[in-house]
Structure 1
Amino acid sequence: MARSPRNGLAPATAVLAGVFLSLAGFVWDVQWHTDVGPDTFFTAPHLLLYAGSAIAGLASLAVVLATTAGRRRGHPIDPTVGGRVVGVFGGAIAAPVGYLISGSGAASFLLYGLWDQWWHGLYGFDAMLASPPHVGLFLSITVTMVGAVMVFAAARRHRWGVVGTVAGTAFLVAFGVLTVAGLEALPLGAVDGVTVGVTFTCVVLVTMGGHVLDRRGGAIAVIALVAAMQAAFWWFAPWAARVYADAIGQPLREDTEGVPVIPAMIPMVLIVVGVLVEVLRRRPAWPTGAIGGAVIAASVPLQEAWVYQGGPPQVSDVLIVAAAGTVAGALAGSLGARFGEMLRVLAPKETSHA
């Protein structure tokens, strides 16, 4: 394993830490909306997720400014630091592509945050999770997370690059189940759009994680970290919502079930997809994705019935959503493999070491 360049690890770690804080803030915020309900702009979950985005954005900006200054002085640019450099604003700014993406997501997050503040000022308490500014915030942090994965994928020949790529992909899996929640409004008949969306997201990202690294175990490592976060957030989300509600004198909803919303949305059978990706990594990805998609989609109704202590789902409903998950999984498997290959290109064939 090659030694890590000193000038790449610190900003990459800051970006990764920032997106994790935003992920934790969103998990907390969603639980707050579910267990308590109304909130304002200046709540603890909001401040946590905004702080995370600010950290990621400032770290990205620092790298872009340093790269621009270095290029103007004629210094060689290390492509392992965020990937290949692209010119912005007619070449006036030189930005490593990974940090350009993560920084752009953080900047748009700030803009949507200002919109969210205006929204709260106009309507007061916000009891809805899927408000227009919230949707923009979801998409913005997703872009920042994608940029974080690109930053570490560019350094995947170094140990910290491998670890960061796995962590960034796992964060995307955990956060991705939230971004597809808006599919609930789509008129898809007997097919549950959220289940299909969760299936597609998980298959595409786990497959990507299995193809981006040079060694086996990438997909399993991603799933192991997702499972660890799922277990931690399972405890953290309802606990944080309850403690914060008590601290500011807000009552819990009478019908609250105390179920951790985001952790409960993460499929518990992802290990099946990970094993399939690892075993069949050298073969076409779409059959692997199709099988994994069918397994995930069929398991989601069963998982929901167990978590929320409801009755068993109808067999016909499970079969319908499993069929839709098979199609979505096939497409996701193919795309995930291609995304993994695209991320591999970010790392130079030969690296220079400090």
Structure 2
Amino acid sequence: MDLTASGAISVPATKSGARGLAAASFVLAGTLLSLTGLTWDIQWHDDVGPDTFFTLPHLFLYSGSAVAGIASLIVVLRTTAATRKGKQVDPMVGGRAVGVFGRTFAAPVGYLVSGTGAAMFLLYGLWDQWWHSLYGFDAVISSPPHIGLLLSITVTMVGAVMVFAVARGERWGKFGTIGSLAVLTGFSMVTVIGLSEIDAGIVNTVVVGTAFFSVLTVIMGAEVIGRPGGALGVALSLAAIQAVFWWFSPWAAETYASMVGLPLRDNVDNVPDMPAMMPMSLILVAVAVELVRRFGTGRALAALGGTIGGLIVTGLQPVQRAWIYGAHLPPASSMIATIVAGGVFGALSGFLGWRFGVMLRQLAPAKENSDA
């Protein structure tokens, strides 16, 4: 994979912006479809039971990857055609083009990542269908093909963040970056479920993982936007997603079960599973990050903001769960150990969030970078 020539923008700014917005919007819409399908599918497993390959929640998951993948493919093919004709490629649309398969294709780097994730999803989807043909109903989310599917969607969501980060100098680029980071944060909540398999003694690894991923994306948002409001924008966007899914998940599971003639489980509590995983304390984390950034930027301050964020999430996440489910708080020893681990991993996520944010800023064209 090597860089191809990429010159100045050769189309009017308004036309360039319209093209960039249209393509990026389809990728973001695809990730939202996938997130909707996932929260619906998790609720279905909890409220109704096992499922087969062809269910409505699964179709949302598949459609999301298809929409993002087709949009990415169209951009890659258009960029390849323009490059072969000797035309200058607009770096505002997905970033500078890179040569793929010996320069057979010229792919803007953001769309290369999102398209690769979609292609991986197709392969894992075929594996999932074969898996269902062997074992029938699927009762768990942690089957091997499911893990591959979830990782593939995550890659596509990372590509969506990259696509919008390229255009962060535009208003739509800023809002898209914030929105795509919020979608990535929400989707990462299912990833942390796998951390429950790690034996860390009295430390709650799921809570620590929740803090790590959520603080990471909040600090990335602050760094990419580079102005006050980036961190808070990610947190507020996630809160909006959480609020919508809080109503949607139980309603969709019950309505679909009624449509296909399946009963709900006897112990249904009407608690939306995936939205309940999302930290409600993230707005406090964002406020803390914004206050820390008033003293400047850099790895040390990012790590400080991450530490504070990690302490907030790990301290309040057990309280959130106890409130939602009417359960008891974990033992004090477990909470203290988890909070300490949250501070340590929060510092790491703060540093990584700063580093990844800097990398995303470098995707923007040179002129836009110099103005930032």
Q: Displacement of 1:180 after TM fit?
A: 1.5
* Match of residue 152 from structure 1: 164
Letter in 2 for 1:242: E
Q: Does 1:208 align with 2:225?
A: no
Letter in 2 for 1:292: G
Distance 1:151 1:306 in 2: 38
Task: Check the 8 A contact 2:257/2:264 in 1, yes or no.
Answer: yes
Secondary structure, counterpart of 1:82 in structure 2: coil
Q: Does 1:291 align with 2:308?
A: yes
Q: Does 1:334 align with 2:346?
A: no
Q: Describe the superposition over 1:114-140 as per-residue Cα deviations: whole angstroms up to 9, x where unpaired.
A: 111111111001111111111111100
Secondary structure, counterpart of 1:5 in structure 2: helix
Distance 2:76 2:170 in 1: 21
Q: Describe the superposition over 1:90-111 as per-residue Cα deviations: whole angstroms up to 9, x where unpaired.
A: 1111000000000000000111
Q: Displacement of 1:350 after TM fit?
A: 2.2
Distance 1:19 1:261 in 2: 19
Secondary structure, counterpart of 2:99 in structure 1: strand
Q: 1:63 aligns with which of 71, 75, 85?
A: 75
Normalised by the length of structure 1, the TM-score is 0.97
Distance 1:84 1:312 in 2: 50
* Match of residue 7 from structure 2: none
Q: Work out the percentage of aligned pairs sharing the same amino acid.
A: 58
* Match of residue 136 from structure 2: 124
Distance 1:179 1:320 in 2: 22
Q: 2:285 aligns with which of 273, 279, 282?
A: 273
Secondary structure, counterpart of 2:107 in structure 1: strand
Task: Check the 8 A contact 1:302/1:313 in 2, yes or no.
Answer: no
Report matched runs for 1:39-50 at 5 Å.
39-50=51-62
* Match of residue 341 from structure 2: 324
Normalised by the length of structure 2, the TM-score is 0.92
Report matched runs for 1:109-188 at 5 Å.
109-188=121-200
Q: Displacement of 1:214 after TM fit?
A: 3.3
Distance 1:57 1:247 in 2: 30
Q: 2:113 aligns with which of 101, 109, 114?
A: 101
Task: Check the 8 A contact 1:85/1:96 in 2, yes or no.
Answer: yes
Task: Check the 8 A contact 1:209/1:222 in 2, yes or no.
Answer: yes
Task: Check the 8 A contact 2:33/2:61 in 1, yes or no.
Answer: yes
Distance 2:155 2:169 in 1: 24
* Match of residue 90 from structure 1: 102
Q: Does 1:81 align with 2:113?
A: no
Secondary structure, counterpart of 2:189 in structure 1: helix
* Match of residue 37 from structure 2: 25
Q: Describe the superposition over 1:166-206 as per-residue Cα deviations: whole angstroms up to 9, x where unpaired.
A: 11000011111111111111111111111111110001110
Task: Check the 8 A contact 2:204/2:334 in 1, yes or no.
Answer: no
TM-align CA RMSD: 1.1
Q: Does 1:347 align with 2:364?
A: yes
Q: Displacement of 1:312 after TM fit?
A: 2.8
Distance 1:59 1:343 in 2: 21
Q: Describe the superposition over 1:63-93 as per-residue Cα deviations: whole angstroms up to 9, x where unpaired.
A: 0000001000001011110011111101111
Task: Check the 8 A contact 2:202/2:333 in 1, yes or no.
Answer: no
Task: Check the 8 A contact 2:45/2:139 in 1, yes or no.
Answer: yes
Task: Check the 8 A contact 2:245/2:275 in 1, yes or no.
Answer: yes
* Match of residue 5 from structure 2: none
Distance 2:340 2:58 in 1: 38
Q: Displacement of 1:349 after TM fit?
A: 2.9
Q: Displacement of 1:6 after TM fit?
A: 2.5
Secondary structure, counterpart of 1:347 in structure 2: coil
* Contiguous gaps of at least 5 residues in structure 2: 1-12
